[in-house]
Amino acid sequence: MTSTAAERAGYTPIEARVRARGGLTTRGLGLVAATGVLAAVAVLSIVIGTKPIPLGTVWDAFFTAGVTSEDIRIVLDLRVPRTVIGLAAGIALGLAGALMQALTRNPLADPGILGINAGAATAVVLAIRVLGIGSLTGYIWFAFAGAAGAFVVVYLLGTRGRSGASPERLALAGAAVGAALLAVTNAVALLDVSTFDRYRLWTVGALAGRDLGVFWAVAPFILIGVLLALALGPSLNVIALGEDTARALGANLNRTRVLTAVAVTLLCGAATAAVGPIAFVGLAVPHIARTLVGPDQRWLLPYSLVLAPTLLLLADVAGRVIARPGEVQAGLITAFIGAPVFLAVILRRRIVPL
C-alpha cells in the first residue's frame, strides 16, 4: 500500500509512511537480524583485543571449570566487563538520542542538547578538584547528579512563562546552560594540572578500565530509562503530528515531555557517568533506524536500542586493532568515523523527515 493510499484509507500520516515501508513481518525480521548482528559483535568484542587470545582459550573461560591462566583472566576480568558496559552504554545513548530528536522535533538533536553531558562533566571535574575523587566508581554518582541537576535547571528555565515548555525553549535553555557549565569545567580543569590529568582520562569516552561494578551501579537507571522510553513510543507519535493535532487527539503534551526528558536524563546520565561523553552515537543512530523503519517511534526506538550498542562495540573493537599494542579510545573512533558519515548523509538528503 502506498503512502497516499494508506492516508486515504484513514491512517495518520505517520502510520501511512510506515506502512509504505513494509509490514510488521519485514520490520520484525529486520529487528531480529539486527539483534543477531549485535550478538556477533559482542562475541568479537570478547575475542578480539590488543593481545591475541586463541578461540579455544575464550571457550575455556566460559565453559571449562577449574581452568585458570593469564589469558582467561584477561577475558573474564577485562573484556567481558567492557563488552557488558558497552552494550549498556550503547543502548542508553541510542535511545536517548532517538527520544531527544522526537521531543525537540529536530533531526540534528542529540542528548547534549539539554546540557546533560555538560552537567555530568562539571560534576566530575568538581568532584576531582574539591573532594579528591580518583576512581571511576566514585565519578559515577557525581556525573549522574550533575546530569540530573542540569536537566532540572534546563527544564525550569524552559518552562518559565505562560506558554510553558516547548522544543525551542528547551533547546535554547539547554544550549545556554551547557555553555555556562562548559566554561566552569574548563576553568577548573585548566587551573589545576592534577585535576586535568585525571579528568581527561574520563572525558575522552572509553570502555576500557571499567569493571562490572560500574555496570551494576548504572544498570538500574538504564533499565528504568529503557522501559520508560519504549512505553513513550505511541505518545511521541502523536506529538509528531503537531501540537494542535496532538491536543485535539487528547494527548497530554506536558506529561509526555516531562517523562521523555526524565528518560533522557536517566539514560544519558547513566551512560555518560559510566563511559564518559561518547560522540555521534546518539546523534546518528536514530537516523539510521529512521531510514530502515520510518518515523514510527514504536519501531524506531527498538531499532535504536539494538543498532547503537552495535556501533559502539564495533568502534571499541576497531580501536583495539588499529593501534596494537596500544589502543584508541572508543569515543575517538566514533567521532572520527561518525562525523564524515553523518555529513555525507546530510549532503545526500537521506535523512528521513521526522
CATH code of the domain in which 292 resides: 1.10.3470.10
The answer to whether residue 55 sits within a structural domain is: yes
C-alpha to C-alpha distance for 333 and 344, rounded to whole angstroms: 17
The answer to whether residue 104 sits within a structural domain is: yes
Identity of residue 82: R
The answer to whether residue 340 sits within a structural domain is: no
C-alpha to C-alpha distance for 261 and 252, rounded to whole angstroms: 14
- DSSP-assigned letters across all residues of 136-199: HHHHHHHHHHHHHHHHHHHHHHHT-STT---HHHHHHHHHHHHHHHHHHHHHHHHH-HHHHHHH
In the prediction, which pLDDT does 302 show? 96
The answer to whether residue 248 sits within a structural domain is: yes
Cis geometry, peptide bond prior to residue 325 (ω within 30 degrees of 0): yes
In the prediction, which pLDDT does 17 show? 53
Q: How many domains does the chain contain in total?
A: 1
Identify each DSSP E strand in 176-323 by its residue range.
none
Residues 311-343 pLDDT 10s: 999 999 998 888 777 788 888 888 887 677 667
Residue reference for cell 515531555: 257
Distances (CA, A) of 190 to 118, 129, 193, 267: 16, 11, 7, 29
C-alpha to C-alpha distance for 267 and 302, rounded to whole angstroms: 14
User: With 0-12 CB in 10 A as exposed, 13-18 as middle and 19+ as buried, what is 334?
Assistant: buried
C-alpha to C-alpha distance for 94 and 256, rounded to whole angstroms: 19
As a residue count, the chain comes to: 354
Q: Residues 6 or more apart from 221 whose CB is under 8 A from it?
A: 144, 266, 267, 269, 270
C-alpha to C-alpha distance for 51 and 241, rounded to whole angstroms: 52
C-alpha to C-alpha distance for 295 and 108, rounded to whole angstroms: 15
Residue reference for cell 562539571: 122
The answer to whether residue 234 sits within a structural domain is: yes
Distances (CA, A) of 77 to 73, 207, 312: 5, 13, 20
Q: Which of 269, 272, 236, 268 is nearest to 255 (CA)?
A: 236
The residues of the chain scoring below 70 in pLDDT are 1-24, 66-67, 108, 161-168, 338, 341-342, 344-354
Residues 233-263 pLDDT 10s: 998 888 877 777 777 777 778 788 889 888 9
The answer to whether residue 349 sits within a structural domain is: no
Q: Which of 265, 288, 291, 281 is nearest to 313 (CA)?
A: 281
The answer to whether residue 179 sits within a structural domain is: yes
C-alpha cell, 245: 493535532
Give the range of the structural domain holding residue 53, as residue numbers without chain letter.
Answer: 3-332
